[in-house]
Chains A and B, each alone.
Chain A
Amino acid sequence: MGASPVLDTARFDTVAVDAINAPDFSLAGITPLLCVFGAAAVGVLVEAFAPRNVRHPVQVAVALAGTLGALVACVLLAGTREVTAAQALAVDGAGLFLQATIAGLGALSILLFAERSLDPARSSFVASAAVPAGSARDRELMTAQRVQTEVYPLATFAIAGMMLFTAANDLLIMFVALEVLSLPLYLLAGMARRRRLLSQEAALKYFLLGAFASAFFLYGLALVYGSTGSVQLADIRAAGLEDSTSTLPVIGLGLLIVGLMFKASVAPFHTWTPDVYQGSPTPVTAFMAACTKVAAFGAILRLLYVAFGDSEWTWRPLVYGIAIVSMLVGAVLGLTQTDVKRMLAYSSIAHAGFLLTGVLGLGPGGTGSGLQATMFYLLAYGISTVGVFAVVTLVRDGDGEATHLSQWAGLARRSPLTAAIMTLFLLALAGIPLTSGFIGKFTVFRAAIEQGAWPLVVVALVASAIAAFYYLKLVVLMYFSDPAEDGPTVGVPGLPTTIVLAVTVSATLVLGVVPGAVLELAERAAIFGA
């Protein structure tokens, strides 16, 4: 009995002593993450100790300092290429580019959160989320100008999770980051000040389906670990999948893809998207649509290019099919929507399909322009999306935001400037030349064609044409319809929303007219250092 390996106590002892050692740690490489996590922790302390009347400005300042600090840190780290924290985190061009994108878009979203002049009650967030909707206390708080400030630490934690998600070089860290970014988002989705039941329904749906998707991810992780013996992306790549009989890691990869595609709202894992985008407070919708998309695609790119980059045959057909489904579902179902936020949700699903077209632009041996094209597209799409939802927060009637399409009729006559800005963003989302959307689509389609995926690009062009119909339908509605008698008014935005609109409008135009510098930056940053 004593000779049996199961009972070999001597072996267990040596394993236990060797297991824990101080890992190598490059603090410089993770400054962007430390900035945002630090800001989130400070935000929690402010919530605990600062008096109520100063909390709002302090929280906004802390959140902005954290995100902008992370942005600066990413810029200063440009060119770094290392793997740190016991191989768990990668600091490389692609990671830093995407982290900077998330930090920048996150700062813009925080500004939208901080807008206080549009709603008569001074905030788009419920004053106390635990009070039952419709109760006497709820009605009392509805008119009181008390504001919720916990949204800022929550959003900062979500941004930190998203940034960690794109840097994760290890499936377990990737899972932790997935949860860190998801849990605050579930809460934020349920905090709308108006239409509270719709918002709470959105939060519950997002939570249940999100938990389900996380379980898929974990199951996939377990299968990949079981077959390759490691959770680190570089080791999974080294384990090799040249043998087409190895079904276990392929099934594992499939399950990992399901979990990640859910977060990226790619059809057929998109069913939560319209309900959650519609029910959430609009600044949160902007944040989810822009930043979560960047983070999820960052993780998808890293998983597919680093861990499974040598064994493309495992994922190429799958991603090819999902891209087609997502583009068509987003384009066709978007046509039937009557709510602006739902329409933009389907637009987001279609864009996820276009992004997958870029993901397919990976050539043999890591060549191909897929990575840089997808990164540029994410930046361009994120900026236009934050901008378009910022415009949605402006159009209001007595009951909050007026999101029904018919309420937008004749908006150009009430407010020509708002209609013009909205038109610019819609054209950018449709991919019309001279906007960032056109350059983005052009680069991802070119990357896919270089790898011979031209049938996919044909489908993508057809889907773009269909989707352009509903963007242009809204433009026509704004310019060529008579405004309704009791139509909505366009609110005068305060400083935060004005800054967001100015930044997003100019970035959309600059990326559309003179994209050279940013394209070059994306090209130089397109490195995964495993």
Chain B
Amino acid sequence: MLSNYMPFVGLFVLAAAFALFSVAAAPYVGPRRYNQAKLEAYECGIEPVDQPLTGGRFPVKFYLTAMLFIVFDIEIVFLYPWAVSNEALGVFGLVEMAVFIATVFIAYAYVWRRGGLEWD
């Protein structure tokens, strides 16, 4: 029973060994050329937004955007399994998904009409 999990243990050991080896070897084998970008949190992608001078607060608009993103993102999560087993579910599944999408659109209509999609 436990022996079934031996491959996992092997994988963990391998992963840990690789991480330790990489960290330990990097200072000796890697070149060192500093520049400004290396001091940022992420070396790629968008530059981080500055903190407001008055304190460590962000506008609540970011939070709202994140929340709306999750609401509509979750919809896609439900669409995938339905798309995969569309044949097994037949008309019933189609109708159910139509109802589901309609309810998400109700939420969308509310957000849109009440100004949730406007930044300013």
Seen from chain A, the residues whose Cβ lies within 8 Å of a Cβ on chain B are 1, 4-7, 17, 19-22, 25, 41, 44-45, 47-49
Dominant secondary structure at the B interface: helix
Q: B31 in the interface, Cβ–Cβ < 8 Å? A: no
**When the two chains form their complex, are residues A20 and B7 in contact, meaning their CB atoms are under 8 A apart?**
no
Q: Bound state CA distance, A19 and B8, in angstroms?
A: 26
Q: Bound state CA distance, A22 and B81, in angstroms?
A: 13
Chain A residues, Cβ within 8 Å of B110: 44-45, 47-48
Q: Assign chain B's interface to a size class.
A: 20 to 34
| Contact A20:B114 (CB < 8 A) given known A6-B5, A45-B109, A49-B109 | no
**When the two chains form their complex, are residues A22 and B90 in contact, meaning their CB atoms are under 8 A apart?**
yes
Chain A residues, Cβ within 8 Å of B92: 22, 25
| Contact A4:B114 (CB < 8 A) given known A20-B81, A22-B90, A44-B106 | no
Q: Total A-B pairs in contact (CB under 8 Å)?
A: 44
| Contact A41:B109 (CB < 8 A) given known A5-B4, A22-B88, A22-B93 | no
Per-residue interface assignment for chain B, residues 83 to 113, with 1 indicating a CB less than 8 Å from any chain A CB and 0 otherwise: 0110011101100000000010011011011
Q: Bound state CA distance, A152 and B29, in angstroms?
A: 67
Chain B residues, Cβ within 8 Å of A21: 85, 88-89
* Most interface-central of B5, B92, B106, B110 (chain A CB within 10 A): B110
9 A-B pairs within 8 Å (CB atoms) are namely A6-B7, A17-B88, A19-B85, A44-B106, A45-B106, A47-B110, A48-B112, A48-B114, A49-B109
| CB proximity to A under 8 Å, residues B1-40 | 4-5, 7-8
**When the two chains form their complex, are residues A48 and B109 in contact, meaning their CB atoms are under 8 A apart?**
yes
B30 to chain A, nearest CB (A): 36
* Candidates A6, A17, A48; contact of B4 at CB < 8 Å: A6
| Contact A22:B89 (CB < 8 A) given known A4-B7, A41-B106 | yes
Known: A6-B5, A45-B109, A48-B114. 9 other contacts (CB 8 A): A6-B7, A17-B88, A20-B85, A21-B85, A22-B89, A44-B106, A44-B109, A44-B110, A49-B113
Q: Bound state CA distance, A21 and B103, in angstroms?
A: 22
Q: Bound state CA distance, A20 and B97, in angstroms?
A: 14
Q: Bound state CA distance, A47 and B107, in angstroms?
A: 11
Q: Bound state CA distance, A353 and B93, in angstroms?
A: 45
Q: Bound state CA distance, A4 and B114, in angstroms?
A: 56
Chain A residues, Cβ within 8 Å of B106: 41, 44-45
**When the two chains form their complex, are residues B113 and A20 in contact, meaning their CB atoms are under 8 A apart?**
no
Chain A residues, Cβ within 8 Å of B84: 20
B7's closest neighbor in chain A, by CB? A6
* Candidates A1, A17, A41, A48; contact of B103 at CB < 8 Å: A41
Chain A residues, Cβ within 8 Å of B85: 17, 19-21
Chain A residues, Cβ within 8 Å of B81: 20
**When the two chains form their complex, are residues A48 and B5 in contact, meaning their CB atoms are under 8 A apart?**
no
Chain B residues, Cβ within 8 Å of A48: 109-110, 112-114
A7's closest neighbor in chain B, by CB? B7
Q: Bound state CA distance, A45 and B108, in angstroms?
A: 10
B65 to chain A, nearest CB (A): 16
Q: Bound state CA distance, A47 and B85, in angstroms?
A: 36
Chain B residues, Cβ within 8 Å of A20: 81, 84-85, 88-89
Chain A residues, Cβ within 8 Å of B8: 6
Q: Bound state CA distance, A21 and B4, in angstroms?
A: 31
Chain B residues, Cβ within 8 Å of A44: 106-107, 109-110
Chain B residues, Cβ within 8 Å of A6: 4-5, 7-8
B91's closest neighbor in chain A, by CB? A22
**When the two chains form their complex, are residues A47 and B114 in contact, meaning their CB atoms are under 8 A apart?**
yes
A45's closest neighbor in chain B, by CB? B106
Q: Bound state CA distance, A44 and B90, in angstroms?
A: 30
A182 to chain B, nearest CB (A): 17
Chain A residues, Cβ within 8 Å of B112: 48
Chain A residues, Cβ within 8 Å of B5: 6
B27 to chain A, nearest CB (A): 37
A11 to chain B, nearest CB (A): 13
Q: Bound state CA distance, A17 and B88, in angstroms?
A: 9
Q: Bound state CA distance, A1 and B11, in angstroms?
A: 14
B10 to chain A, nearest CB (A): 11
Q: Bound state CA distance, A1 and B8, in angstroms?
A: 12
Q: Bound state CA distance, A210 and B84, in angstroms?
A: 37
Q: Bound state CA distance, A49 and B113, in angstroms?
A: 7
Q: Bound state CA distance, A399 and B105, in angstroms?
A: 42
B60's closest neighbor in chain A, by CB? A130
Q: Bound state CA distance, A17 and B86, in angstroms?
A: 11
A85 to chain B, nearest CB (A): 11
B118 to chain A, nearest CB (A): 15
Q: Bound state CA distance, A45 and B113, in angstroms?
A: 10
Q: Which 8 A-B pairs have the closest CB atoms?
A: A48-B113, A20-B85, A22-B92, A48-B110, A48-B109, A22-B89, A44-B110, A6-B4
Chain B residues, Cβ within 8 Å of A22: 88-90, 92-93
Chain A residues, Cβ within 8 Å of B88: 17, 20-22
| CB proximity to A under 8 Å, residues B69-93 | 81, 84-85, 88-90, 92-93
Q: Bound state CA distance, A48 and B112, in angstroms?
A: 8
B111 to chain A, nearest CB (A): 8
Chain A residues, Cβ within 8 Å of B4: 4-6
A47's closest neighbor in chain B, by CB? B110
Q: Bound state CA distance, A47 and B114, in angstroms?
A: 9
